[in-house]
Every structure is written in C-alpha cells, then in structure tokens.
Amino acid sequence: MPATKRLDLAAQMAAMPRLRLKKISWAWLGFITACVALMAVGAPLNVNLYKMPLPFALGMAILHTGSLALTVVRPVPGGLLSLLPLAVMPLVSTPPGSAPMPFSVVAMLTQILVMCVAGLRSYWMLPAVIWLLSIFIGVAVNYRGMPAYVPLGAEMNVVVFASVSGGLMVAAVITQQWQNIRRQLLAERNVSAEEQSMRRLAEERARIARELHDVVAHGMSIVVVQATTAQYRHPDLDKTLKQEFDDIAANSRRAMTEMRSMLGALRSDGTARDLSPQPGLTDIPQLVAAARTAGVDVAVDSDSESLGAAEAVDVSEVIGLTAYRIAQEALSNVIRHAPGATVTLSLRPIARTLQLEITNGPSGIGAVLAQLDRTHPGQGLIGMRERASIVGGSVQCTPLSNGGFLVRATLPLVTMGTGGTK
C-alpha cells in the first residue's frame, strides 16, 4: 500500500474511534438497562401472577435474562439456553384463568429479544431454529397430558407469540443481511479504488519512462555519432585513441539496443508514437500563454529574472523536461480547481539546483470544483513527485493560509558539456 494511502487510512482510523465508541457505549447501556428491567419485572410477576415458587420464579427470570445477555456474545449457546426457562416456567406455575399462558408477557418479550439479537449476530438459521423450537414448546405445553380441551386463551397466546416473534425475527435477519451486503460493497469499493489508483500510478510511471527513454536515446545518439566521426574530424588521432572512440561507439550502440529492448513494451499500447521533440524550459512560456488563454492570471516573478535566468543555464534535457511537466501539471491543477485565481510562476537557478515555484491564490469557484472533481484524486501530485524523484529532486505541495496552494520543485542542476554540477 502506498505511503499516502497508509497516512490517509491512519487519519481516518484516528478520527473514527471516539464517535464509534460513544455509540457502542450508549447501545450497551440501553441493552443492560433492558435486561435489568426484564429481570426486575419478570421475577415478581412469576411469583404473584403465575403463582410460581420463589426459587423457580427468581431463578427462571435470572436464567432467561442471562441467556439474552449471552446471546450477544455467543448466539448459539445463548439461544439454546433461552429455551430452558421457556419450557420450565409453564410446568411450575398455576396461574388463574385470566393470566396468559404458556408464555408470560415478560417471557415473550425476552424470547423475542433473544431471537432478534441472534438474527443480528449470526446466520439466519439460528433464529429460525429458536423460533420453531419456541413454538413447539408452547404447543407441547398446551397439549401435555392430552386434556379434553385446550383453553382458547392459551391458543391465542401461542399464536400472538408466533406471529409477533416471527415478524421481528425476519426483520432482524433482513437487517443483518443488509449490513453484510453493505460491508461487502464498501470493501469491494475500497479495493477497486486502490487498484484504480495503482493502475493510474503505473500508467504515469510508464509515461515518464517513455519520455525519459526518448531524451536519453537522443543524448546517446549524439555520443554514438561523435565517437564514430571522431577519426574523420580529427585525422591526426593515433590508433589508440581511434580504438577508444570505436569502443565508446560500440558500447553506446549496445546500450541503446538493450534500452530499446527493455522499454519496447512501453510502446505496445497500440497508440501512435509522437515523434516531436520533448519539451523543455524554453517551452514554459507557451504553458503560461495557454493558461492565460484559459482565464488564469499568470504572473512571472520579475524580481528574480525568473525564466530568463533559468533559460540562460544550459541544463540537461531530462531536467528541462521534468521542470516543464511539473509546471504543466501545476497550472492544470489551478485551471481545474481554482479558476480565476492569481498565479505566480518563478523559475530560477539557486546554488546547484533549479527551483520552480507555482503559487496560486484562493478562488471561491475553485473551492466548489475541488469538491466536485474527485475523478482522479491526488494523481497529479503523485506524478510530480515521481518525476522529481527520478532525477534526484523533490516536490513540496503545501496549502497556504489564505486558501491558495504552493508547488515548489527543487531539481538538481546539471550543466551539459562539462559533466559536472553547477
């Protein structure tokens, strides 16, 4: 994973825990309160209304409520444990005819919550099995001993429990499935976005390699021509020097052949090859003119001789191409994200480096477009950094306090013809 993505992921993870923990804390507090309330109401009702012995009344209330809490962390044991008090309570109670049986009101609520929690925490088969076993227990208790008739209230009690619990159980299962599908979609979307970002980065690197291949091939061609024609331009050379020039020409041709074979795959995209010369420092004024045509007010820094001072330095073609592409991308970003903003461009040799600065001011329209233009987030900045790092330079991209943006590229300044650095 790229470093920028790791930083973005770390920032998101650092911002999310507080809100998530706060929601989880409130959910647990509400759940624990519901469990305590069910137990506090269920035990007195078991004693007073359903005439259960106190040990059974209190023990079954605690066991049923505990099974609800257990279902949250262990759905299978908790769901199966909840069936035990559901089956025991009708057997140890002697309620009056007006009391609903075989399921008391509190037992019905507790068992419905058990099935809903199981539906949210596990596969759909578990809550379905718990629901079927609960209905079976209710019917079996009603018909135990095969009495002559079953009270109508008991049948209605089982029917109400089956319908209400079944509907809520199905709703819980659907909610859980919807959450799983949503998580899978989010995971697939993140994977797709990362793969797309890596593909764009690979395409940008391939384009940089193609351009550098053209520049290096041009320079090596000059070396081959100069080495091959040296004996004709200087007839007084001795045989040793002639042989040395021949070796230089042969090695240069071999290096060009190997370079073409390695980078030939970069030309296999089926597109027509551009045979025009690669741009350099002398083409930056054309970029400025094009940006002005697009409605951007570009001012060249006049205090530092800027373009004139930089053009007076005989830099290598690779450095010139890198500076041109960085300036091109920076001006394109201004046109896309800050139309109408004032831009200052500065290009000057400092010590042994060539420093390029593009600074733009704020733009109200640009703030809106910056939020809308998310098709290729961050790829331009990555491309600029890649180009600078290839030649041993660096690029600094910094938002300004006034709402603008600064792009500062520092490239090593190599003077052609001397083989040294300036």
What's the pLDDT tens digit per position in 160-211?
Answer: 888 998 899 899 889 888 888 888 888 888 888 888 878 877 777 777 766 7
- Say if residue 364's pLDDT is above 70: no
DSSP three-state, residue 227: helix
Q: 288 with 300: CB under 8 angstroms?
A: yes
**pLDDT at position 377, please?**
45
Distance CA 134, CA 126 (A): 12
Q: Are 132 and 165 in contact (CB under 8 A)?
A: no
User: Which segment of 147-156, 167-176, 250-259, 306-315 scores lowest on mean pLDDT?
Assistant: 306-315
Long-range contacts of 49-52 (CB under 8 A, 24+ apart): 49/95, 49/99, 49/104, 50/89, 50/93, 50/94, 50/95, 50/99, 50/101, 50/104, 51/93, 51/94, 51/95, 51/96, 52/89, 52/92, 52/93
Instruction: Tell me the C-alpha distance between 334 and 340, whole Å.
Output: 9
* Amino acid at site 26: W
Residue spans per domain, the chain: 3-145+152-192, 206-265, 281-412
Residue 266 has pLDDT above 60, yes or no: no
- Say if CB 123 and CB 169 are below 8 A apart: no
DSSP-assigned beta bridge partners for residue 399: 405
What pLDDT is recorded for position 190? Answer: 84
Q: How far apart are CA 135 and CA 400, in angstroms?
A: 68
Quickly state the pLDDT bin for 23 (edges 50, 70, 90): low
Burial (CB count within 10 angstroms: exposed 0-12, middle 13-18, buried 19+), residue 112: buried
pLDDT number for residue 398: 87
**Statement: residue 145 has pLDDT above 60:** no
Instruction: Report angle CA 257, 262, 268 to the nearest 5 degrees.
Output: 110
Rounded to whole angstroms, how far apart are CA atoms 225 and 121? 76
Residue 181 CB coordination number (10 Å)? 10
The amino acid present at 110, given as its one-letter code, is T
Query: How confident is the model at residue 105, as a pLDDT?
Result: 84
Superfamily of domain 281-412: Histidine kinase-like ATPase, C-terminal domain (3.30.565.10)
Span 282-307, pLDDT tens digits: 888 888 888 887 777 888 875 444 45
CA distance linking residue 36 with residue 44, whole number of Å: 13
pLDDT band of 329, cuts 50, 70, 90: confident
Find out whether 327 and 356 touch, Cβ atoms under 8 Å.
Answer: yes
Most confident by average pLDDT, 21-35, 100-114, 167-181, 254-268: 167-181
pLDDT tens for 28-67 read 777 788 778 888 888 888 888 778 888 888 888 888 888 8
Its pTM surpasses 0.95: no
Query: Averaged over 249-271, what is the pLDDT?
Result: 66
| C-alpha span between 298 and 344 (Å, rounded) | 6
| Nearest CA among 384, 393, 302 for reference residue 355 | 393
AA letter at 271: T
Cα–Cα distance for residue pair 334/360, rounded to 1 Å: 7
Q: What is the DSSP letter of 405?
A: E
Question: What pLDDT score was predicted for residue 21?
Answer: 53
Please tell me the predicted confidence (pLDDT) of residue 132. 92
Residue 329 near residue 345, CB atoms below 8 Å:
no
Select the more confidently predicted residue: 224 or 183: 183
pLDDT of residue 210: 67
- Among residues of the chain, what percentage have pLDDT more than 70? 72
